[in-house]
Amino acid sequence: MAVSHLQCKECKAEYPLEALYVCDQCFGPLEVVYDHSASTGDVAELRRRIQGGPQNIWRYADFLPLAGGPPGPSGRLASRVGLPAGCTPLIRADRLAERLGLREVWVKNDAANPTHSFKDRVVSVAVTRARELGFETIACASTGNLANSVAAHGAALGMDSYVFIPADLEEQKILATGIYGTNLVGVEGNYDDVNRLCTELCAEREWAFVNINLRPYYAEGSKTLAFEIAEQLGWELPDRCIVPVASGSLFTKIARGFEEWTELGLLDGELPRMNGAQAEGCSPVASAYAAGADVCRPVKPSTIAKSLAIGNPADGPYALDLARRSGGGVDAVSDDEIRAAIKLLAETTGVFTETAGGVTTAVLAKLAARGEIDPDERVVLVITGEGLKTLDAVRGTFETRTIAPSVEAFEAGVRQTVSV
Amino acid sequence: MSVTVKIPTQLRAAAGGEAEASLDGATVQEVLDGLFDRFEELRARISDEDGSLRRFVNVYLAGEDIRFLDGLATPVKDGSELTILPAVAGG
């Protein structure tokens, strides 16, 4: 396996591949480092190896931080361990592109994961690494999607789990967590309060908090979105990616995935322009971007996009740096724009996304309206979650006619007002 | 005025193995200065050269991030609890 060690992103101090996430010396984040020297050179062989792998993220096991390779025997179509994530559809969205005056837009629909969000990618990697390290209990601080995924992975693998969420989370996300038999804890406060509590708990317990002490491994799972997009585009890079930003981890790791494959010769070309998407009610990264700052000032979130409601983004500085060096940006949209964009995406692509996907789609619409996207660009819109989890956001946006079950009632009550 | 400072695991080796320390001071800055006087090694771990907090260090007063208060100038009361934590968690 190519995984080598952990390294501080700031001061470059090196650490062993254990449940560590922060540098003792400077408090910087630790990141996984690989040694791909054995696989450079033979691009065709590398591609064959990937294409011969299973239809899930374990086809990219060479680029993930597991000491023992993929977990258990997996055939190309059948997987025998856990809840395999990934290999979600990349859909060409011509009707959406047309509405926005663009030529080529693709929707990466990551709602098509086992628990209906991209979080299954990061949790699969973190939980597999946690098992390698000998942990028996997994845990997380979550805005909802992660809660679903950690609870489900715990159930699938027979591990105990503890899930901490803000107590006022959407009901759908609470129900879709508790059903897996996890220890679900609602915390009075916002996500940042939950995260602080879990950071404190993490130091006192022998648990694998997937997004705290396992965070270096967890974050690597997001690279698989980049790998899939490139593979699905025929081993090509898109020109631009629009990605929701909460902590900034997904945004920066998608770019890292493209860069890693470009360094290995699997892809050729420039890093896509990376556009981050936030809700106005929680836009510490977009505000810092607009102000030209290189760090984010924390905020108290107030938005319908609860899955993005992180007021104190851990990877904020790296997200800002990426947006600038890739020629992208970070934009924020209002709750009304989010609702309208959920509808726009649904009406033009058949994909019903949760509020985070509304944020992403609204930012695409905003960039298109501002004329920032060249019509020749190939744009990928990363849709991270499922609309059924945030039903309140679309309640009242359309009308249902109720009629008696007769043709006459239909003709009288509906035909005149609805085009059929 | 006595304030309890909770020290994260990553810094305990530089703090004589202690998980918390009891210190005097009227502001967050004064309490942290007292902590650095006691454990000199902590100064460079937590603070930049100009004396501000490193960007991956969060400090909470009674659970509230001091950046929502008056930062290092935030006054502290007798019996307050100050928590130092890494900022890189979550998401």
CATH number at residue B43: 3.10.20.30
Q: Are strands B2-6 and B20-24 parallel, antiparallel or unpaired?
A: antiparallel
Q: Is B90 on the interface with A (CB under 8 A)?
A: yes
Residue at B59 is within a domain: yes
Instruction: Check CB contact under 8 Å for B65 and A295.
Output: no
Q: Is A25 on the interface with B (CB under 8 A)?
A: yes
CA distances from B84 to A129, A265, A313, B34, B56 (A): 28, 43, 17, 14, 11
Count of CB pairs separated by less than 8 Å, A with B:
90
C-alpha torsion A64→A68→A70→A71, nearest 10: -130
The 10s digit of each residue's pLDDT in A233-246 is 999 999 999 999 99
Q: Is B49 on the interface with A (CB under 8 A)?
A: no
> Structural domains in chain A?
90-116+222-394 (3.40.50.1100), 119-219 (3.40.50.1100)
Instruction: Check CB contact under 8 Å for B90 and A297.
Output: no
Q: Compute how many other C-beta atoms are within 10 angstroms of the C-beta atom of residue A364.
A: 30
Q: Which of B8, B45, B88 has the CB atom closest to A29's CB atom?
A: B88
Residue range of the domain that includes B61: 2-86
Q: Give the pTM.
A: 0.96
* Calpha distance A287→A252 (Å, rounded): 18
Per-residue pLDDT of chain A (420 residues; tens, 9 = 90+): 589 999 999 999 999 999 999 999 899 999 999 998 887 678 999 999 999 999 999 999 999 999 988 887 666 666 667 898 999 999 999 999 999 999 999 999 999 999 999 999 999 999 999 999 999 999 999 999 999 999 999 999 999 999 999 999 999 999 999 999 999 999 999 999 999 999 999 999 999 999 999 999 999 999 999 999 999 999 999 999 999 999 999 999 999 999 999 999 999 999 999 999 999 999 999 999 999 999 999 999 999 999 999 999 999 999 999 999 999 999 999 999 999 999 999 999 999 999 999 999 999 999 999 999 998 999 999 999 999 999 999 999 888 889 999 999 999 877 665 554
Residue at B64 is within a domain: yes
Cβ-count burial of B40 within 10 angstroms (0-12 exposed, 13-18 middle, 19+ buried)?
exposed
Nearest to A125 by CA among A30, A47, A211, A198: A211
Joined together, the tokens standing for residue A314 give 């851990």
Residue at B7 is within a domain: yes
Joined together, the tokens standing for residue B79 give 């019996």
3-state secondary structure of B9: helix
Residues B5, B80 contacting (CB under 8 angstroms): no
Residue at token pair 């209906």? A116
Residues A159, A207 contacting (CB under 8 angstroms): no
Q: Which of B56, B60, B67 has the CB atom closest to A29's CB atom?
A: B56
Count up the domains in chain B and report the number. 1
C-alpha torsion B8→B11→B12→B14, nearest 10: -160
* Calpha distance B21→A36 (Å, rounded): 45
Residue at B91 is within a domain: no
Q: Are strands A329-333 and B57-61 parallel, antiparallel or unpaired?
A: unpaired
Position A161: which residue type? S
* Calpha distance A216→A5 (Å, rounded): 11
Residue at B40 is within a domain: yes
The 10s digit of each residue's pLDDT in A155-180 is 999 999 999 999 999 999 999 999 99
Q: Is A313 on the interface with B (CB under 8 A)?
A: yes
Residue at B28 is within a domain: yes
